[in-house]
Amino acid sequence: MSVIVIIFMITLLLCGFPMLASFAVGAFGLILAIQPSLSMTFVIQQFIAGISGFTLLSIPMFIFAAEIMSFGRTANHLVDLVKAFVGHISGGLAITVAGACTIFGAISGSSNATVVAIGKPMRSRMIENGYDQQNTDALICASAIIAVLIPPSINMIMYCVLTGTSVGELFVAGVIPGIFVFLLFAVYNYFYANKKNIPKFKRVSWKERIVSVRKSILALGFPVLIIGGIYSGTFTPTEAAAVSVIYAMLCEMLIYRTVNFKDLLDLAKSTGIMTSAIFVLIAVGQGFSWVISYFNIPKTLTIIAAQNINSTVGMAILVSLAFFIACMFVDQIVAMLILLPIIFPMTQAMGMDPVYIGVLVSIQAAIGSITPPFGSNIFVACAAFDRPYLSIVKGLPAYLIILVFVSVIYIAFPNLAIIHRLL
């Protein structure tokens, strides 16, 4: 009966029902199916407990900081900076997009925000300089997912909340795969531009580069402040989120003067709407997680896995496939809420490092956000660029192959995820 309830819940998700309804049906349906005498009050209490964690305060603050930076000049300054240093090489404009997305991702923590902030000013420039629309749209979508891998990734925060993993350590562990993905995208676009004979930009002088660095110094200080502050122990991830809001306000309101008080209120409203949607999902997800834990479903699956999977590599492949498939159909946070309560205990029973699992999950979440049929970045790009769905999807296979290659590397060499501990 419990299997029927879970299948019904997934079916509701795939049929387009609100995620809140699907999780609620799963939680209450399991109780009614297995132990109807259990009071529903316990589930309601778990809903509240799910959004009571102190770390969750960082999510609305990072979102608010990203909204402020996206509205202001930060994105344009980052684009100009990267272009000044790599614009003259083959594929320089495409590499500029990938680099700007990487840096802005380290500011926003949101791939969707990165698509809009970097994509809008850069898309027309790329097309005017000889890039076809399919590759341009695909590059912006794919490069934006680096925000999922590097701090302050909202997905990483959610993983840590659900598993109890150190936010600071997972943030640091995500830097290397994020930079690795950027470098692979840069290499691919270097050869793509050579093949298509796309013109290069004139090399700028060091004087112009220094001017670009000066204009971007405040934006570059943002990830240094966040990662450095957390890693040095100066402040916690939640405190870092608060600092990021103050920093963003100082930059955009007092220095650049692109955001006024009225704009700030509108951005706060937008942040509130987005946060409420996320927190409702977290609440019902926690209730669902408690119910399946109460009925020992993860423990049962752990025993089955232990009997059938006898290596950590096999478990890593299982984790990757489960999240890759799930993120193709539902939002990354929803996939975490459904799968982590089941899969994470299985990985811990095999002695796998939770930081390593966090990196694996983040990579799969990144792939899922640009994988048809329901990759979130695809739909954001469709809306932002007014382009048809299939036009954007057609350019994505090359980038998906690169991301799958990165995933295979991390499955084969798990110590790469914790190499920061040796530094």
pLDDT digits (tens, 9 = 90+) for 102-118: 887 777 777 777 787 77
Query: 256-272, pLDDT tens digit by residue?
Result: 888 898 999 999 998 88
Q: Residue 16's pLDDT is what?
A: 61
**Between the ranges 180-189, 192-201, 362-371, where is the mean pLDDT highest?**
180-189
Q: Residue 4's pLDDT is what?
A: 62
SS3 state of residue 194: helix
Cα 92 to its chain centre, rounded Å, is 25
Q: Residue 6's pLDDT is what?
A: 61
Token pair, residue 237, equals 């991830």
With 90 as the cut, is the pLDDT of residue 273 above it?
A: no
**What is the overall mean pLDDT for the chain?**
80
Cα–Cα dist 171/158, whole Å: 12
With 90 as the cut, is the pLDDT of residue 401 above it?
A: yes
SS3 state of residue 250: helix
Average pLDDT over residues 51-56: 72
Q: Residue 204's pLDDT is what?
A: 81
With 80 as the cut, is the pLDDT of residue 178 above it?
A: yes
Closest among 77, 60, 72, 64 to 254, alpha carbons compared: 72
> Any idea which of 27-41, 121-135, 156-170, 236-250 has the lowest mean pLDDT?
27-41
Q: Residue 292's pLDDT is what?
A: 66
Quickly state the pLDDT bin for 311 (edges 50, 70, 90): confident
Q: Exposure pattern of 258-293 as b/e (b: 16+ CB <10 Å)? A: ebeeebbeebeeebeebbeebebbbbbbbbbbbbbe
With 80 as the cut, is the pLDDT of residue 352 above it?
A: yes
Q: Residue 93's pLDDT is what?
A: 81
Token pair, residue 303, equals 């025993």
Write down the pTM of the prediction.
Answer: 0.77
Q: Residue 192's pLDDT is what?
A: 87
Q: Residue 402's pLDDT is what?
A: 93
With 80 as the cut, is the pLDDT of residue 75 above it?
A: no
Average pLDDT over residues 274-302: 70
Quickly state the pLDDT bin for 85 (edges 50, 70, 90): confident
Percent of the chain at pLDDT exceeding 70: 83
What does R_g of the chain's alpha carbons equal in angstroms?
22
Query: 124-164, pLDDT tens digit by residue?
Result: 878 877 788 888 888 888 888 888 888 878 888 889 888 88
Token pair, residue 295, equals 């009925």
Average pLDDT over residues 230-245: 80
With 80 as the cut, is the pLDDT of residue 210 above it?
A: yes
Contacts of 316 (CB under 8 A, 6+ apart): 352, 360, 411, 414
- For the purposes of burial, counting CB atoms within 10 Å of the CB of 155, is it exposed (0-12), middle (13-18) or buried (19 or more)? buried
Q: Residue 355's pLDDT is what?
A: 93
Cα–Cα dist 113/126, whole Å: 19
Q: Residue 353's pLDDT is what?
A: 92
Q: What is the dihedral of CA 252, 253, 257, 262, to 10 degrees?
A: 110
With 60 as the cut, is the pLDDT of residue 1 above it?
A: no
Q: Which residue has the higher pLDDT, 72 or 411?
A: 411
Q: Residue 332's pLDDT is what?
A: 78
Q: Residue 30's pLDDT is what?
A: 65
The region that residue 110 occupies, defined by phi over 0 for left and psi between -120 and 50 for alpha, beta otherwise, is beta
Do the beta carbons of residue 55 and residue 167 sit within 8 Å? yes
